[in-house]
Amino acid sequence: MSRKKMDGYESILAIEKLSKWFPITNAWNRKVGNLKAIDGVSLTVKKGEIIGVVGESGCGKSTLGKTIMGIHHPTSGSINFEGREVAGLSPFQSRQLRKRLQYTYQDPGSSLDPRWKIGRSLDEPLKIHTSLPREERHTRVREILEAVNLPESHLQLYPHEISGGQQRRVGLARILTLHPSLVILDEPTSGLDVSVQATILKLFLDLKKKFDLTYVFISHDLSVVRMMCDRIAVMYLGRIVELGPTEEVFNSPRHPYTQSLLSAIPQIGGKRVTEHFWLEGEPPDPSRLPSGCSFRTRCPFQDRACELEVPSLVNNVGYRWDACVHSQKNLV
């Protein structure tokens, strides 16, 4: 999974056995355990693709994105971006990296300083990361604002004076000023009306083509992921349990967790969501994971083998990967 070439395509991002554990302390500030937000994730992203990362709340999707970006320092493992190891870089080196690797937050309004007008918010990254003179910075800001379909008059507005969809566009414009090659989109359509979502998704595709971007698309909205992504990685309790081309995963999910997630997608004029949805209960405490397969406490197919063995993510058929001992045994 960490090859620099995969399926004949150049990889832009290769993650190998990446973990991020958060310490748990007691009332006396003594460490008593670890919360395993990410636990041994390996993933390769091809240049120019859109890869979706899905799963329940708390599965580690956003932590994965923030660790790749350097917002969280990894506990162990490697992150290779554009042929360079980026885990554990110094602050100066990380600043140089962020010209090419960018992250969009779930709440775009919170990433914009409420005291600054939009023009200053867009100009600030260029002042920090480039040596462009003032006029060239202003020219690039106007060009990027036009690329995200916002009028130049918005440069004089404050974040609270524009809508949520417009804040999302400003957030995109802010990271595109640095001409990145990979963008991590964290729940990019959350909180938006359906019509605004459609506009934003179309904008993502237009910008991808115009700026030759690669996206890591983190979302809980499976319908949007199916429409947008070339491949999909399904996460559960900090691990990837299934990976493959989006249509293949949706049409024939192999891992029981993926099967249950997909059965929850509403279908217009079809079966009710509850008819074939069997997933019950809450995920285990990430600080006290069960032995063996972490999904076994909610899986109707679990047996003794699931208690003893932590299933690895294995390449099964074609470009499909999964981490279930039963699906791996039942291959034909």
> pLDDT 10s per residue in the chain (332 long)?
444 444 445 799 999 999 999 999 888 988 888 999 999 999 999 999 999 999 988 899 999 999 998 889 999 999 999 988 887 777 777 777 778 999 988 887 778 899 999 999 999 999 988 889 999 999 999 999 999 999 999 999 999 999 988 998 999 999 899 999 999 999 988 878 888 889 999 999 999 999 999 999 999 889 899 999 999 999 999 999 999 999 999 999 999 999 988 887 766 555 544 455 567 777 888 888 888 899 988 888 888 888 888 888 988 777 899 998 877 666 54
The whole-number pLDDT of residue 268 equals 59
> Does residue 116 form part of some domain?
no
The whole-number pLDDT of residue 65 equals 94
308 in Cβ contact with 291 (< 8 Å):
yes
Structure tokens, 202:
């179309």
The whole-number pLDDT of residue 273 equals 47
Return the half-sphere exposure (C-beta side, CA atoms, 13 A cut-off) of residue 205: 11
For residue 95, the domain's CATH number is: 3.40.50.300
Helix (H, G, I), strand (E, B) or coil at 103: strand
- 102, β-bridge pairs: 183
**What one-letter code names the amino acid at 303?**
D
> Does residue 283 form part of some domain?
yes
Q: How many domains does the chain have?
A: 1
> Does residue 145 form part of some domain?
no
The whole-number pLDDT of residue 161 equals 94
Structure tokens, 160:
């609270």
The whole-number pLDDT of residue 87 equals 79
**Measured distance CA(110)–CA(276) in Å, rounded:** 39
- Return the DSSP state at 153: G
> Does residue 175 form part of some domain?
no
- 34, β-bridge pairs: 23
> Does residue 26 form part of some domain?
yes
- 33, β-bridge pairs: 24
The whole-number pLDDT of residue 191 equals 77
> Does residue 229 form part of some domain?
yes
Contacts of 192 (CB under 8 A, 6+ apart): 164, 165, 168, 200
> Does residue 132 form part of some domain?
no
Comparing CA positions, the residue from 280, 279, 226 lying closest to residue 251 is 226
Range of the domain at 265: 5-100+180-329
> Does residue 167 form part of some domain?
no
